[in-house]
Structure 1
Amino acid sequence: MKNPTKHLKRLTAVGAVALAAFSLSPAAASALPSGNPAGDGEPGTTIVGGTRAEQGEFPFMVRLSMGCGGALLEKDIVLTAAHCVDGSGSDTSITATGGVVDLEDPAAVTAKSTEVLQAPGYDGQGKDWALIKLDKALDQPTLPIAKDDAYNEGDFTIAGWGADQEGGDQQRYLLKAEVPFVDDATCKSAYPDLVEGEELCAGKLDTGGVDSCQGDSGGPMFRKDDAGEWVQVGIVSWGDGCARPGKPGVYTEVSTFAADIEDAAAQLGG
């Protein structure tokens, strides 16, 4: 188990001190404020060093009411992080908001969760993925997942409504940024407990300054495939603080779990 005071899962939490307390608890999602996806002053912790996304630029993005992000794997199934949910089973407590970059936009569409499927065997280290079944389809494009490691290099795009600085507040507008791939050997030197083969690292090692942060957990890391279409290669998971030099962001390596994710989606009726 990672030290929760050092390696922070990137959930939204109430204030900087609470970030450590919530960092690794699988039940953290249910302990967090759940009713304020619009970000109207509720403390939280988007993308550091990012710029505002354009409306419709990443239409597969959704905001989850427990303080995480996600992407539409199917129109009625959200792919997010395992640490954002509290186990598997029936769950009607989560609201997914999509269709907008401005969470206060009246054009936002919402759906409620009906069931959650957390990665089998998840224990806080590796395997950080989960699916949320929605009570209705959202009329938005979906984000395909990488089936192999062909796209696990290069520059990636990250996006979210989390903190724009370490210890900062949840954002009203979706922010985006680009982060470069960091190889496993280099990342392992920064994080000895990195789970190679299950986790993927990205960030500006020398300078820092660009990263996902608290409130971005569960959101996608993605890039263009050979056909010029977006494909998801990672899921925002954890890191030491946000955007620190020498401390890249750590993401679930989606291609490792692609078959499992597709099987789980089929179980949920996707």
Structure 2
Amino acid sequence: MRTRIPPQTMARTGDGIPSSSARRRRRLVAPLLSTIFAAVLAAASAAPAHAVYNGSRADSDEYAWAVRVELAYPEGIASCTGSLIAEDTVVTAAHCIRNNGRSPSAIAVTFHYGQKRSEYTIGVATAVPMPHYDPARIKDDIALLFLESAVSEPTIELASTPAPVGAEVTVAGYGCTGDPFNPAAQCDPAPRLVETRLTAVPAEACPDIAGPWQFCTYSPDTSANRGDSGGPVIWSDHGDQKLVGVTNAIELPPATAYLNLSASVPYELDWIRATAGLR
């Protein structure tokens, strides 16, 4: 069972975003409520990222590179989201493949999930977390999945610069669609990919960010959720859609706004390119 620590009162600015003087709260980090068996995979620390809450169905043609990730653990099948960055390589969150020091017995990714005519699944041959991944700090929470065979789907380009504060970004995932602030909400998994838009805000707005390996996004009424972990955070850089982040976690109440924590792709870019063999 995961333990929810009573949240501390936070200082807030007038627009509902936590101020830089907000107290740090204990985290409940992102291993996922399985969308198949509803089994809790315990985590050491920040709240995980159900599918997008208050989002809308994504255009399947624009997201042919997005995948649903299934991971076999003793408690059941957990799910995450991922993005194809090379013909045989998917990027996702490290906490999806490292749960309390354990690795899943099997991993598979599904393309075009929920689209019966085009849906197909491929096994993962090797899963590699970022070497410096630290779940206690939600540090370097990013991993690569190497597929058993290459695919012909389009890939998403990696961003080399972070999204500036104030920029609108898009988050997408296959997770639960209920309110992540409501612990009694049922996990109703999205039958198709769901997307929403958030705003990049200063790192100080998310009290659980401990370094440049992550960035913070905000919305008053929409958020990533369980099962979205590992999913894409996309930024339009001069008109080009690029993968700027990987969904990690959400800040817990008493926040009245939704604050999402994402791994920074630009920060991890050298490792991603070297490990995936990208130029």
In which range does the TM-score fall when normalised by the shorter chain?
0.7 to 0.9
Q: In structure 2, what is the equivalent of residue 172 of structure 1?
A: 191
Residues 7 and 122 of structure 1: CA distance in aligned 2, closer, same or farther (over 3 Å): same
Residues 243 and 151 of structure 1: CA distance in aligned 2, closer, same or farther (over 3 Å): farther
Distance 1:198 1:64 in 2: 23
Q: In structure 2, what is the equivalent of residue 28 of structure 1?
A: none
Q: Tell me if structure 2 keeps the 8 A contact 1:212–1:243.
A: no
Q: In structure 1, what is the equivalent of residue 29 of structure 2?
A: 9
Q: In structure 1, what is the equivalent of residue 210 of structure 2?
A: 195
Structure 1 residue 22: Cα displacement: 2.0
Distance 1:112 1:18 in 2: 22
Greater percentage in strand: 2
Q: Tell me if structure 2 keeps the 8 A contact 1:82–1:122.
A: yes
Which residue, out of 251, 259, 267, partners 2:270?
259
What stretches of structure 1 of length at least 5 have no aligned partner?
Answer: 26-43
RMSD: 3.0
TM-score, normalization by structure 1: 0.77
Q: In structure 2, what is the equivalent of residue 73 of structure 1?
A: 85
Query: Which of the two has higher C-alpha Rg?
Result: 2
TM-score, normalization by structure 2: 0.75
Residues 255 and 242 of structure 1: CA distance in aligned 2, closer, same or farther (over 3 Å): farther
Give the secondary structure class of the aligned counterpart of 1:22.
Answer: coil
Distance 2:215 2:132 in 1: 19
Distance 2:34 2:122 in 1: 24
Q: Tell me if structure 2 keeps the 8 A contact 1:7–1:239.
A: no
Give the secondary structure class of the aligned counterpart of 2:95.
Answer: helix
Distance 1:122 1:4 in 2: 23
Residues 71 and 138 of structure 1: CA distance in aligned 2, closer, same or farther (over 3 Å): same
Distance 2:221 2:153 in 1: 31
Residues 55 and 199 of structure 1: CA distance in aligned 2, closer, same or farther (over 3 Å): same
Structure 1 residue 251: Cα displacement: 0.3
Residues 130 and 160 of structure 1: CA distance in aligned 2, closer, same or farther (over 3 Å): same
Greater percentage in helix: 1
| Superposition map of 1:158-237 within 5 A | 158-165=171-178, 166=180, 167=185, 168-187=187-206, 191=207, 193-204=208-219, 208-226=220-238, 228-237=239-248
- The size of the alignment, in residue pairs, is 236
Within the alignment, does 1:46 sit opposite 2:51 as a pair? yes
Structure 1 residue 133: Cα displacement: 0.2
Q: Tell me if structure 2 keeps the 8 A contact 1:210–1:243.
A: no
Counterpart code for 2:33: A
Structure 1 residue 152: Cα displacement: 6.5
Q: Tell me if structure 2 keeps the 8 A contact 1:68–1:217.
A: yes
Within the alignment, does 1:61 sit opposite 2:66 as a pair? yes
Give the secondary structure class of the aligned counterpart of 2:169.
Answer: strand
Q: Tell me if structure 2 keeps the 8 A contact 1:182–1:248.
A: no
Counterpart code for 1:203: Y
Distance 1:145 1:152 in 2: 19
Q: Tell me if structure 2 keeps the 8 A contact 1:213–1:241.
A: no
Q: Tell me if structure 2 keeps the 8 A contact 1:92–1:114.
A: no
Q: Tell me if structure 2 keeps the 8 A contact 1:8–1:24.
A: yes
Counterpart code for 2:211: E
Distance 2:204 2:252 in 1: 20
Distance 1:250 1:186 in 2: 10
Residues 77 and 152 of structure 1: CA distance in aligned 2, closer, same or farther (over 3 Å): farther
Which residue, out of 138, 143, 160, partners 1:130?
143
Q: Tell me if structure 2 keeps the 8 A contact 1:79–1:218.
A: yes
Which residue, out of 165, 168, 184, partners 1:155?
168
What stretches of structure 2 of length at least 5 have no aligned partner?
Answer: 6-25, 72-78
Task: Give CA-to-partner distance per residue, 1:214-268, whole Å, 9 cap, x none.
Answer: 0000001011121x221011110011349952440000011111001111112xx
Distance 2:58 2:51 in 1: 12
